[in-house]
């Protein structure tokens, strides 16, 4: 089963050391069940200094497990579970369980 979180969604971290932080999903790795959220789980990497990177250090957002994030309800701004339903034209869309409103368009 695929993930119910997509790139561009706003999510909140519900567990771990980054608990309570919000951010936008930058990348989804469904086979590993992980997501990369902007500004969350920031890591520092040391590398050999180059002409472009004089200091030799760079930071990046590391992936976290998808079970540790929850989608933010577009109406209330609170974390919500995600359901799905079919439109009259047969298109499948995501629905916020807390408010019952559509997430996709």
Mean pLDDT of 56-84: 92
For residue 94, the enclosing domain spans 74-105
| Confidence check: pLDDT of 10 > 70 | yes
In whole angstroms, give the CA distance from residue 55 to residue 75: 44
For residue 85 the two structure tokens come to 């339903």
| Confidence check: pLDDT of 104 > 80 | no
CB 20 within 8 A of CB 6: no
Q: Tally the domains of the chain.
A: 2
Residue 33 sits in the same domain as residue 58: yes
What's the pTM?
A: 0.83
In whole angstroms, give the CA distance from residue 90 to residue 100: 18
| 23 closest CA partner among 72, 86, 83 | 72
Residue 42 sits in the same domain as residue 59: yes
């Amino acid at each position: 089963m695929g993930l119910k979180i997509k790139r561009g969604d706003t999510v909140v971290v519900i567990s771990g050391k980054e608990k309570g932080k919000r951010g936008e999903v930058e990348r989804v790795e469904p086979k590993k069940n992980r997501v990369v959220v902007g500004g969350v789980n920031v890591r520092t990497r040391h590398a050999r200094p180059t002409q472009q990177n004089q200091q030799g250090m760079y930071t990046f957002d590391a992936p976290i497990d998808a079970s540790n994030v929850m989608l933010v309800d577009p109406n209330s701004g609170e974390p919500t579970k995600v359901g799905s339903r079919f439109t009259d034209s047969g298109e499948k869309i995501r629905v916020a369980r807390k408010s019952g409103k559509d997430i996709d368009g």
